[in-house]
Amino acid sequence: MKFFIDTANLDEIREAYDLGVLDGVTTNPSLMAKEGISGHDNVIAHYKAICDIVDDNVSAEVIATDYEGMLKEGRELAQIDDKIVVKVPMTKDGIKAIKTFTAEDIRTNCTLVFSAGQALLAAKAGASYVSPFIGRLDDIGFDGLELIGQICQIYDNYGYTTEVLAASVRHTMHLLQCAEIGADVATCPLKVITSLLNHPLTDKGLAQFLADHAKANG
């Protein structure tokens, strides 16, 4: 299973990368705004800075909502670095743009996916990744994890190579259940990844080992 970090914060990306288990980064316009990144050149420079930290898979989202605009923006984003994956919203123009990007060997991440039908369209258009949003479905009383299972099943049935990128992952149980279901990737905040480290019996056991060692060694 790949781990992506869902942030545009360079310190958090560095910290996750230094842990040695990071496979990529997802950003979105809200996350970029949260870091105060605005203006064309600053946005491009920020994506480049992210690419310089990680090994691969940096999702950079288009702002345009029309087909031609998405193509222009996505092509420019793809030029920044080979690590860029162009993130495209799940709309009619978005699906057409994904089809065109695929033909141009530009990797894509189809975002804002909330149904199995949308995920099927993304796969048929050739998306590299599909991003179903678990937490946001849970927020409105639907089962986000059930959707991950449905999409994995459908992709398995037909051998689609689009990777299921579980997004809007809010806590460790989301992450672990995605792993059980077989999602290819989960993207989440840094704290969800680091909280996988913790168990009280690990802390207790380590304290005991160190105390016994100190006793024996004076």
Q: What span, in angstroms and rounded, lies between the C-alpha atoms of 198 and 175?
A: 14
Q: Is 177 in the site for ligand E4P (CB under 6 A)?
A: no
7 binding ligand E4P? (CB under 6 A): no
Q: Using alpha carbons, select from 100, 101, 129, 96 the residue that is nearest to residue 113.
A: 129
Amino acid at 198: N
Q: Do 54 and 19 touch, CB atoms closer than 8 A?
A: no
Minimum Å distance from CB 82 to ligand E4P?
20
How many residues sit close enough to ligand E4P to count as binding (CB under 6 A)? 11
Which residues, other chains included, contact 62 with Cβ-Cβ below 8 Å and sequence gap of 6+?
69, 70, 73, 74, 77, 86, 87, 88, 89, 97
DSSP class of residue 128?
S
Residue 124 in the binding site for ligand E4P (CB under 6 A): no
Closest distance of CB 117 from ligand E4P, Å: 19
Which entry of 34, 48, 83, 87 is annotated as an active-site residue? 87
3, 5, 6, 50: which one binds ligand E4P (CB under 6 A): 6
Active site residue 96: no
Report the distance separating Cα 42 and Cα 212, nearest Å.
54
108 forms part of the interface with ligand E4P (CB under 6 A): no
29: contact with ligand E4P by CB under 6 A:
no
Interface with ligand E4P, residue 136, by CB under 6 A: yes
Closest to 107 measured CA to CA, from 89, 127, 88, 92: 127
Give catalytic residues, as residue numbers: 87
- Give the binding site for ligand E4P (CB under 6 A): 6, 26, 28, 111, 131, 133, 135-136, 167-168, 187
